[in-house]
Chain A
Amino acid sequence: MTVHKFLRKSAVSAAIAIGLGLSPAMADNIVFWVNSPLASGPDAPIYAEIKAFEKETGHTVEVQPVAHMEMERNLFVALSGGAGPDVMALDIAWVAGLADAGLIADLSEKSKPFAAEYQAGPLASGRFDQRQYAMPLYTNNVALFVNDRMLKEAGIDKAPANWDEFHKAAVAMTNKDKDTYGLTFGGSRMGAFQLYSFIWENGGDIIDETGKVRVGEPGAVDAVDFLAKLYTENHAMPESVLTAGSWDEVNAPFIQERAGMLISGDWALSALEKGNPKLEFSVHPLPTGKQAATVIGGYNLAINANSSVQDASWQLARWLTGPRSVELMHKYNRLSATVAATTPEAIAALPEKQRPFMQQADAGKARPVVAAWSQIHNEIIANVWDSVLRGKPAKDAMAEAATAIQGLLGQ
């Protein structure tokens, strides 16, 4: 063999070897934990989307559905043990805690070129300490569900648009003899979640952007007082407000046509239609107080800080949350968090009962992004609501809550 031939053969062999060697390294396997409603069966739209991603990038994705109630605990156990998925779907309320613990990757640099594609509120829900840790997968907010028949029978011809009308409608639909009530509401942490929109609508806040605790101020106190009195004085909420710890329990009186109004998000639509197919109800933006506001919910995608496939994980997160999410979320009757989903054309393409959510998206406000948020929500604000429903003055309960939150935040 001549030297020339030898070199040529060696070059070809090296190219093949490099080619073979590089392929597996470039085609990564990504483990993806997704909240189970998005992967409820093999026909769930997310699987088609994942297939398209795999075809486009050459990566493979292992989808592992996890129930919402299990997700936070499972992530905590897995991530703190140095394991867990590469990409994970997070309820927006969990981002701060995991980011503060250094368990999810900082996506600030990677996300910067795409930030303008997302709605401001949902994008902010993935931010902690001025850094971006998660990208919004879908967004939601709470609106007013009204039983049209009950409202009409109460002599009211249009859904309440402000607090005064809301109060009047709630009282008008209440009839002790018929066992009907104006409004079904949650207890404890469920109720706390529903409170936030009203606090903001009244010009109040929980913790403002500067980190100041504001739950003890009149704006917040009066909002809690306004809602609590619908139960304690007007008896316009059923007794289930004391125990309802799940959406099923909050929805039940509305489904049974014992409560004329419900404050909930788009996730309630299918539950209501399934629970009572004959139910005649409509959805409206939340009645406005001093200003319009609605609490933002939804899921974000974050990347494990210890993942060995950071780039591929980012590609997947971007694929699922980017422009394609409008169509993907439409298939789930959910709302994409991209700006493209808020155009008049996109809103018009939504089912009628979903439009109010997107129409009030501009008034959406994320809950405070602080590491101790879970404890503040689950223990402190939930206890405030429980106490006030049982007769404690809102002013006292909120003042105690302010002190407790300040203690938690080390102020």
Chain B
Amino acid sequence: MMKRTSPRQELKKTWSSMFETGRGARIYPYLMVLPAVLVVVGVVVYPLVYGILSAFYDVTLRTLGSGKMNFVGLRNFERVFADPVFLQASWNTLVWVVLNVVAQLGLGLALALLLHRAIPGIGFFRSGILVPWVVPSVVAVLTWRWMYDPSVGIANELLLRLGIIDDYHPWLGDTATSLYAVTIESIWKGTPFVMLLLLAALQLVPRSILEAASMDGASGWRKLWHVILPQIRVSFAIAAVLTFILTVNNFNAIWLMTEGGPLNSSEILFTLAYKYGFKRFDLGMASAVATMLFVGLVIATTIYLKLIQAREGD
């Protein structure tokens, strides 16, 4: 006796068979990824393209209001280059990035080596060192701001008691120290992340290689340079690129501590783009700076992806 199928089952069967052979089978995978593609296009690609295009249009509060935006070619880039603050912000960005990347990698490696030991209670220390990374950035920045207060800040009191300074100093209010004061906060916040990456890499270094180096009479430094660092080089490079990207994008620290001041002494390209966009309401100039930052970050991300591939190759 033939088993009867319900209309619903029939429909399901027909629907399924449409994608089993021929053209249906070919478009099936595309249909499956279509929703995700639409989301990515809407949320990432469209704003990105619009942002880059804005760098070539006269986009201000007035033109946005009237809906008449004119193509201005490279005029926004010219205006940005003509602004003396841009040069200062570019230099500050370089100093900011180099100091952050070097210090975070150096300290992160040192901490990772320190915590890569089988001693009692090491889990407590490993967790404790992650606290700065876990604290919300706004909370961390505002806490540091008060620590640097020129009148009642604990940083001044501590340095005074240690005999390093003779009098309280406005660390965030002095054009000579403001950028470095913010950099210290940023290093404090970012180092645990680097430490975590490198600690994970260290745990993958075969113990037998280290033992063989010890038996060959290698000192601690020689083991570090000739054995450990080559073994973790890909993770180290990934940490460097990630730190670079996170530092360039670290808007909170500078904005909440100094807003780029005093006298633009701690202005970086990201805060300058924000000021152009949301203080002057000149989105054309803001997009020009953002486009330049974007190109730099694309290069860094390309290197990062190459390194990931290299590690997978290892």
Whether the pair B65, A101 counts as a contact (CB closer than 8 A) is yes
Given known A256-B152, A387-B263, contact A98–B61 (CB-CB < 8 A): yes
Whether the pair A242, B278 counts as a contact (CB closer than 8 A) is no
Given known A97-B61, A187-B173, contact A243–B281 (CB-CB < 8 A): no
* Complex: chain B residue closest to A99, CB-CB: B65
Whether the pair A238, B150 counts as a contact (CB closer than 8 A) is yes
* Complex partner residue of A242 from B66, B174, B264, CB under 8 angstroms: B174
- Within B215-263, the residues touching A (CB, 8 Å) are 258-259, 261-263
Whether the pair B263, A243 counts as a contact (CB closer than 8 A) is no
Given known A245-B259, A387-B263, contact A374–B279 (CB-CB < 8 A): yes
Given known A187-B173, A243-B172, A374-B279, contact A101–B62 (CB-CB < 8 A): yes
B203 contacts the other chain (CB 8 A):
no
Which residues of A lie under 8 Å from residue B149 when comparing CB positions?
240, 243
Bound complex: CA of A98 vs CA of B261, how far in Å? 27
B175 contacts the other chain (CB 8 A):
yes
Whether the pair A375, B262 counts as a contact (CB closer than 8 A) is no
Whether the pair B62, A102 counts as a contact (CB closer than 8 A) is yes
Given known A243-B173, A375-B279, contact A386–B65 (CB-CB < 8 A): no
Whether the pair A73, B61 counts as a contact (CB closer than 8 A) is no
Number of A residues contacting the other chain (C-beta, 8 Å)?
36
Give the Cβ gap from B33 to chain A, nearest Cβ, in Å. Answer: 30
B26 contacts the other chain (CB 8 A):
no
Bound complex: CA of A146 vs CA of B170, how far in Å? 25
Majority-rule SS of A interface residues? helix
Bound complex: CA of A259 vs CA of B66, how far in Å? 49
Which residues of A lie under 8 Å from residue B64 when comparing CB positions?
80-81, 101
B280 contacts the other chain (CB 8 A):
yes
Whether the pair B279, A103 counts as a contact (CB closer than 8 A) is no
B168 contacts the other chain (CB 8 A):
yes
Given known A97-B281, A375-B279, contact A238–B151 (CB-CB < 8 A): yes
Which residues of A lie under 8 Å from residue B280 when comparing CB positions?
374-375, 379
Bound complex: CA of A383 vs CA of B61, how far in Å? 24
Give the Cβ gap from A42 to chain B, nearest Cβ, in Å. Answer: 27
Which residues of B lie under 8 Å from residue A374 when comparing CB positions?
279-281
Bound complex: CA of A44 vs CA of B263, how far in Å? 40
Which residues of B lie under 8 Å from residue A238 when comparing CB positions?
150-151
**CB-defined interface of B31-72 with A at 8 Å, one 1/0 digit per residue?**
000000000000000000000000000001110111000000
- Within A23-82, the residues touching B (CB, 8 Å) are 72-73, 76, 79-81
Which residues of A lie under 8 Å from residue B66 when comparing CB positions?
101-102
Which residues of A lie under 8 Å from residue B170 when comparing CB positions?
239-240, 242-243
- Within B139-166, the residues touching A (CB, 8 Å) are 149-152
Whether the pair B150, A240 counts as a contact (CB closer than 8 A) is yes
Whether the pair B65, A103 counts as a contact (CB closer than 8 A) is yes
A188 contacts the other chain (CB 8 A):
yes
Bound complex: CA of A378 vs CA of B278, how far in Å? 12
Whether the pair A80, B174 counts as a contact (CB closer than 8 A) is no
A126 contacts the other chain (CB 8 A):
no
A100 contacts the other chain (CB 8 A):
yes
Bound complex: CA of A66 vs CA of B45, how far in Å? 30
Whether the pair B263, A383 counts as a contact (CB closer than 8 A) is yes
Which residues of B lie under 8 Å from residue A103 when comparing CB positions?
61, 65
Which residues of A lie under 8 Å from residue B259 when comparing CB positions?
188, 245
Bound complex: CA of A374 vs CA of B175, how far in Å? 23
Which residues of A lie under 8 Å from residue B264 when comparing CB positions?
383
A324 contacts the other chain (CB 8 A):
no
A149 contacts the other chain (CB 8 A):
no
**CB-defined interface of B6-37 with A at 8 Å, one 1/0 digit per residue?**
00000000000000000000000000000000
- Within A222-267, the residues touching B (CB, 8 Å) are 238-240, 242-243, 245, 252-253, 256, 258
Give the Cβ gap from B178 to chain A, nearest Cβ, in Å. Answer: 9
Whether the pair B65, A187 counts as a contact (CB closer than 8 A) is no
Given known A98-B61, A102-B62, contact A239–B263 (CB-CB < 8 A): no
Central interface residue in B64, B151, B174, by most chain A CB within 10 Å: B151
**CB-defined interface of B263-285 with A at 8 Å, one 1/0 digit per residue?**
11000000000010011110000
Central interface residue in A103, A242, A253, A382, by most chain B CB within 10 Å: A242
Top 10 nearest A-B pairs by Cβ distance? A242-B173, A80-B64, A239-B150, A101-B65, A243-B173, A101-B61, A102-B65, A242-B170, A101-B62, A239-B170
Q: List residues of chain A with CB under 8 Å of any chain B CB.
A: 72-73, 76, 79-81, 97-98, 100-103, 179, 187-188, 238-240, 242-243, 245, 252-253, 256, 258, 305, 371, 374-375, 378-379, 382-383, 386-387, 390
Q: List residues of chain B with CB under 8 Å of any chain A CB.
A: 60-62, 64-66, 149-152, 168-170, 172-175, 258-259, 261-264, 275, 278-281
Could you write out 7 A-B pairs with CB less than 8 Å apart? A76-B281, A103-B65, A187-B261, A243-B150, A252-B152, A378-B279, A379-B279
Known: A102-B65, A240-B170. 7 other contacts (CB 8 A): A187-B261, A239-B173, A240-B173, A242-B150, A242-B170, A256-B152, A383-B264
